[in-house]
Amino acid sequence: MWPARRLLKYGAVTGALLGTALSLKANQYSLDSIGVVRLGRAATTVHKTAAEKLLALCCTNRGVYIKVGQHIGALDYLLPKEYVETMKVLHSHAPCSKLEEIKRVLREDLKQDPMDIFMDFDPEPLGTASLAQVHKATLKVPYVRGNSLVDMKTMEVLVKLVAWAFPDFQFQWLAEETKRNVPIELDFSQEGHNAEKVGSMFRDYTWLKVPRIYWELSTKRVLTMEYLEGGQVNDLNYIRDNKIDPYEVSDKLSQLYSQMIFIHGFVHSDPHPGNILVRKSPKEGVEIVLLDHGLYAVLTNEFRYQYSNLWLSILNSDKEAMKKNCDNLGVGDLYGLFVCMVAGRTWDAVLSGLEKTKFTTNEREMFEKEIPNLLPQISDVLAKVNRQMLLILKTNDLMRGVEATLKAQSRKTSFLVMSRCCIQSVYSEQLSQCTTRLSRWRTNLSMNWALFKLSLYYTYLSLCSILPNTR
* Model pLDDT, residue 147: 56
Half-sphere exposure of 123 (CA within 13 A, CB side): 4
Does one domain contain both 116 and 198? yes
Question: Is 50 exceeded by the pLDDT of residue 36?
Answer: no
Helix (H) or strand (E) segment spanning residue 232: strand 231-232
Report the alpha-carbon distance of residue 214 to residue 193 in Å, rounded: 11
Does one domain contain both 49 and 182? no
Residue 175: count other Cβ atoms within 10 Å of its Cβ. 18
Burial of 394 (0-12, 13-18, 19+ CB in 10 A): buried
Does one domain contain both 110 and 194? yes
Range from 114-118, 235-239, 275-279, 369-373 carrying the lowest mean pLDDT:
114-118
Q: Are 34 and 45 within 8 A, CB to CB?
A: no
Confidence of residue 173 (pLDDT cuts 50, 70, 90): low
Question: Is 90 exceeded by the pLDDT of residue 350?
Answer: yes
Higher pLDDT, 345 or 174: 345
List, by residue number, the catalytic residues: 270
Strand, coil or helix: 240: helix
Q: Is the model's pTM score more than 0.85?
A: no
Does one domain contain both 391 and 410? yes
Does one domain contain both 183 and 328? no
Report the alpha-carbon distance of residue 454 to residue 219 in Å, rounded: 48
* Model pLDDT, residue 122: 65
Residue 355 lies in a domain: yes
Please give the backbone phi and psi of residue 38, each rounded to the nearest 5 degrees, phi first.
Answer: -125, 60
Q: What is the mean pLDDT of the chain?
A: 78
Report the alpha-carbon distance of residue 137 to residue 125 in Å, rounded: 10
Report the alpha-carbon distance of residue 168 to residue 9 in Å, rounded: 13
Percent of the chain residues topping a pLDDT of 90: 36
Does one domain contain both 221 and 324? no
Handedness of CA 270, 271, 274, 277 (dihedral sign): positive
pLDDT digits 0-9 by tens, 426-459: 999 999 999 999 999 999 999 999 999 888 887 8
Higher pLDDT, 318 or 17: 318
* Model pLDDT, residue 2: 47
Does one domain contain both 40 and 29? no
Helix (H) or strand (E) segment spanning residue 208: strand 208-209
Does one domain contain both 388 and 434? yes
Residue 135 lies in a domain: yes
Confidence of residue 250 (pLDDT cuts 50, 70, 90): very high
Range of the domain at 163: 95-128+131-202+214-226
Report the alpha-carbon distance of residue 442 to residue 141 in Å, rounded: 54
Confidence of residue 34 (pLDDT cuts 50, 70, 90): very low
Residue 277 lies in a domain: no
Does one domain contain both 195 and 80? no
Q: Give how many domains the chain has, as a whole number.
A: 4
Confidence of residue 26 (pLDDT cuts 50, 70, 90): very low
Give the CA-trace dihedral at 445, 449, 451, 456, to 10 degrees: 160
Report the alpha-carbon distance of residue 229 to residue 232 in Å, rounded: 10
